[in-house]
Amino acid sequence: MAKIIRREKLVPNIHLIEIESPEVAVKCRPGQFVILMPDEKGERIPLTVADWDREKGTVTAVFMVVGTSTHKLSLLESGSEIPVFVGPLGKASTIEKFGTVLCAGGCFGIGAIYPIARAMKEAGNKVITLLDVKANYLLYWEDRLRAVSDEFFVSSRDNYYDCKDYIPKVLKQVLKDGRKIDRVVSIGCTYLLYTCAEATRPLGIKTIVSLNPVMVDGTGMCGACRVTIGDKTKFACVDGPDFDGHLVKWEELFSRRKSYFHDEIRSLCYWENKVFP
């Protein structure tokens, strides 16, 4: 059992969860993830670590409500307990002095990119942060991310921010403006990762994407998270989740992510006590 120290809604549909787990807090590094179960009958879901407090012994993740498990998690209150919380899992992101690093995050990835941007800054890089939101009221952790960034951009679909467009278009503009970027790191939905990788491919800028395929055990045993990188089969949970975005076989990833689509909808309907359409 692990205790939830804090669960709060950051913006509509996106929540923060802080869990007491000194063993995980002491070991986790940027880019790694944890696996948790919201209740005993639920499934195991992976979430990227968004922050940690080694002294307090807590780990923070940011999650977006998309299906049954994340709905259940969003209803848990501070002080309640979850039956499973394991980690840190996966390989940590490579943090070195690369020069200029552009950190791109969207939806839950705004939280997940934070420890990477912070570590890149601490390693002596110039950090450009580019966040993607549908509208201004969906932006969170702006202060935190600005504090570790040399330059800060937000792309949104409303008129609120100066960059009124999707992240890849803003990324292309940032590159056109003459900035030399040595590395791009991206976390968020698969479409965002794919479009970031495609935006940098012609320029040959190394682009690391944090993949989020379906996962079950998270320890390399079940094969659920199989991805193809170049001509090699990899398991995202143990070989990743970070991979070179220019080598990912994207069509396969998009297709495998849809494998349980009908079961996911059925599960949500069942849980919400609604008739499956």
Ligand X SMILES: Cc1cc2nc3c(=O)[nH]c(=O)nc-3n(C[C@H](O)[C@H](O)[C@H](O)COP(=O)(O)OP(=O)(O)OC[C@H]3O[C@@H](n4cnc5c(N)ncnc54)[C@H](O)[C@@H]3O)c2cc1C
Distance between CA atoms of residues 231 and 216, nearest Å: 24
Our finding on whether 140 is near ligand X (CB under 6 A) is no
Q: Which does 217 bind (CB under 5 to 8 A by kind): ligand X, ligand FES, none?
A: ligand FES
Q: Which residues touch 110 (CB under 8 Å, ≥6 apart)?
A: 62, 131, 133, 139, 140, 141, 145, 188
CB of 159 to ligand X, least distance (A): 25
Q: Which does 69 bind (CB under 5 to 8 A by kind): ligand FES, ligand X, none?
A: ligand X
Distance between CA atoms of residues 220 and 237, nearest Å: 6
Stretch that binds ligand X, among 55-63, 76-84, 141-149, 158-166 (CB under 6 A): 55-63
**Radius of gyration of the CA atoms of the chain, in A:** 18
List the interface residues with ligand X, window 74-113 (CB under 6 A). 108, 112
Cα 37 to Cα 7, 49, 80, 139, 216: the distances in Å are: 15, 15, 13, 27, 11
Q: Letter for the amino acid at 275? A: V
125 or 210, CB closer to ligand X?
Answer: 210
175 or 215, CB closer to ligand FES?
Answer: 215
CB of 1 to ligand FES, least distance (A): 23
Q: Which does 61 bind (CB under 5 to 8 A by kind): ligand X, ligand FES, none?
A: ligand X
243 close to 208: Cβ distance less than 8 angstroms? yes
**Hey, CA dihedral for 22, 23, 27, 33, is it positive or negative?**
negative
Our finding on whether 32 is near ligand X (CB under 6 A) is no
Distance between CA atoms of residues 263 and 274, nearest Å: 14
Give contact residues for ligand FES (rule: CB under 6 A). 215-218, 220-225, 235, 237
97 or 134, CB closer to ligand X?
Answer: 134
- Where on the chain is the footprint of ligand X (CB under 6 A)? 33, 45-48, 61-64, 66-70, 108, 112, 189, 212-213, 215, 241, 257, 261, 264, 267
